[in-house]
């Protein structure tokens, strides 16, 4: 349980708030590279700031204030030039540093005044990595943008976004909550399919270990022992706002205090060892609402997570909780954030900031050698049964079970690539 003051401190992310300042010290994924293949701008709201992301015709990315400094037009309706972004209203143009580089009328009538030299728009750096575009809103110098080893894995990748109308922290606390798999995903999925049971194997023990880039959580269930990778390898609650489970990441990016952008990065490993080049990593927005009933969708793993987070309230009231032994990880994460606020106040770097680029190469994260998803029961009466995660048919890739609304063309492309490779093995 937290005090009301602590809960406010941990959940507010706007400019000038303590947690907002802490979270701005980390690169955040805000878009897919492939989104800017078909459009030159994307409106973005991040940490309570309205911004526009763009790629100019030279391929340079920029992230600027949404509103033009001339008379406040919305720059997400602007258009990309060879260099920079031009406002659609009166044609002022800006480069990725926020410098005003053109004012067509002023330069015609009073070129000597060089008015543009006195105009600047707010700008933040953007980097592309792993098919994602990452923004950094913190103080300079920016830290390294993590170079996770799995970004280089051979396979078919896809990026999935969803906007979730609740605070980011309750989403992230789900990243260090092993017991919820048993209930929210396994047991609930069985009941959603209209069956009464059986119950999935119980958790007997959970463990949490801090490492350089977050916490590793471990579990022993009735059907596993400490020899099993669920315990011996574990999974990563990645700092400060992500989950990594082996072949996918889920970032919970704060849009503002009451909205979160869920960013999923998914890898399907392909048969065989031959290299595979994916020209562009496709991206899509997930469905979250049942249009028939207006209720949240519960059909897919992350949709089920969304139902849990949204049910906690727009900002979970942590003064009303009753935390138990299963919540040791949640408690540790909260404490670490609160401790790091003091570190920042003293001028230090918070957890997981990496500044030496020579060490930022293919960083290790825990991953099961077996590659099996957690929802599969390994032994006992339900052995081999997929509960929340779906097993594929032999000779086909696994159907996408994480989020609702996958475009059929993406599923078909994976199946095509997968089958082609499978026939060569």
Site residues (vs ligand FES, CB under 6 A) = 68, 70-71, 73, 87, 89-92
Residue 89 contact partner, candidates ligand FES, Fe ion, none, CB within 5 to 8 A by sort of partner: ligand FES
Binding to Fe ion (CB under 5 A): which residues in 105-134? none
Residue 305 contact partner, candidates Fe ion, ligand FES, none, CB within 5 to 8 A by sort of partner: Fe ion
Q: Does 177 bind Fe ion (CB under 5 A)?
A: no
Q: Does 250 bind Fe ion (CB under 5 A)?
A: no
Token code pair at residue 164: 């979730």
Least Å distance, CB 403 to Fe ion, is 12
- The percent helix, strand, coil of the chain (3-state, each to 5) is 30, 25, 45
Choice between 96 and 106, CB closer to ligand FES = 106
Q: Closest Cα partner for 13 from 116, 157, 138?
A: 138
Least Å distance, CB 90 to ligand FES, is 3
Given CA atoms 39, 44, 50, 54 in this order, what sign does their dihedral have? negative
Choice between 92 and 156, CB closer to ligand FES = 92
**Do 80 and 55 touch, CB atoms closer than 8 A?**
yes
Q: Closest Cα partner for 389 from 246, 203, 189?
A: 189
d(CA 410, CA 84): 32
Residue 68 contact partner, candidates Fe ion, ligand FES, none, CB within 5 to 8 A by sort of partner: ligand FES
Interaction pattern, residues 277-316, with Fe ion; x per rule: CB under 5 A: ----------------------------x-----------
Task: Give CA 414 to chain center in angstroms.
Answer: 22
Q: Does 182 bind Fe ion (CB under 5 A)?
A: no
d(CA 46, CA 51): 7
Choice between 305 and 340, CB closer to Fe ion = 305
Residue 392 contact partner, candidates Fe ion, ligand FES, none, CB within 5 to 8 A by sort of partner: none
Choice between 68 and 308, CB closer to ligand FES = 68
Token code pair at residue 202: 């119980």
DSSP track, 167-197:
-HHHHHHGGG-THHIIIIIIIHHHHHTT---
Residue 71 contact partner, candidates ligand FES, Fe ion, none, CB within 5 to 8 A by sort of partner: ligand FES
Choice between 73 and 332, CB closer to ligand FES = 73
d(CA 73, CA 87): 7
In this structure, are strands 61-65 and 123-124 parallel, antiparallel, or unpaired? antiparallel
| Positions that interact with Fe ion (CB under 5 A) | 305
């Amino acid at each position: 349980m937290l005090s009301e003051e602590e809960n406010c401190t941990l959940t507010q992310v706007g400019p000038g708030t303590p947690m907002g300042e802490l979270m701005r010290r980390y690169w955040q994924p805000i878009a897919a590279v492939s989104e800017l293949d078909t459009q030159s701008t994307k409106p973005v709201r991040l940490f309570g700031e309205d911004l526009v992301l763009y790629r100019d015709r030279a391929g340079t990315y920029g992230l600027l204030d949404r509103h033009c400094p001339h008379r406040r037009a919305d720059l997400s309706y602007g258009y990309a030039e060879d260099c920079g972004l031009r406002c659609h209203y009166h044609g002022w143009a800006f480069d990725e540093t926020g410098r005003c580089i053109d004012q067509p009328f002023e330069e015609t009538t009073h070129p000597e005044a060089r008015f543009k030299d006195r105009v600047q728009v707010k700008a933040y750096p953007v980097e592309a990595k792993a098919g994602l575009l990452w923004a950094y809103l913190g103080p300079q110098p920016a830290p390294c943008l993590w170079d996770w080893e799995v970004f280089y894995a051979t396979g078919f990748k896809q990026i999935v976004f969803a906007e979730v109308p609740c605070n980011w922290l309750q989403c992230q606390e789900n990243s260090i909550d092993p017991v919820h798999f048993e209930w929210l995903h396994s047991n609930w999925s069985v009941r959603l399919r209209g069956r009464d049971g059986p119950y999935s194997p119980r958790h007997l023990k959970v463990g949490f270990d801090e490492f350089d880039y977050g916490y590793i959580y471990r579990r022993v269930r009735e059907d596993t022992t400490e020899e099993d990778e669920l315990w011996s390898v574990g999974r990563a609650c990645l700092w400060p706002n992500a989950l990594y489970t082996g072949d996918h990441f889920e970032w919970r990016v704060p849009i503002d205090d009451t909205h979160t952008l869920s960013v999923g990065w998914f890898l399907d490993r392909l048969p065989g060892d031959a290299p595979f080049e994916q020209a562009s990593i496709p991206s899509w927005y997930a469905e979250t609402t049942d249009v028939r009933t207006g209720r949240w969708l519960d059909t897919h793993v992350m949709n089920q997570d969304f139902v849990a987070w949204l049910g906690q309230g727009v900002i979970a009231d942590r003064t009303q909780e009753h935390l138990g032994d299963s919540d040791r990880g949640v408690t540790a994460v909260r404490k670490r954030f609160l401790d790091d606020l003091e570190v920042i106040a003293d001028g230090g770097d918070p957890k997981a900031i990496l500044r030496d680029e020579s060490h930022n190469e293919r960083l290790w994260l825990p991953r099961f050698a077996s590659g099996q998803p957690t929802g599969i029961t390994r032994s006992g009466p339900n052995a081999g049964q997929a509960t929340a995660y779906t097993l594929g048919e032999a000779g086909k890739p696994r159907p996408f079970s994480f989020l609702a609304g996958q475009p059929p063309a993406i599923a078909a492309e994976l199946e095509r690539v997968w089958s082609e490779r499978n026939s060569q093995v």
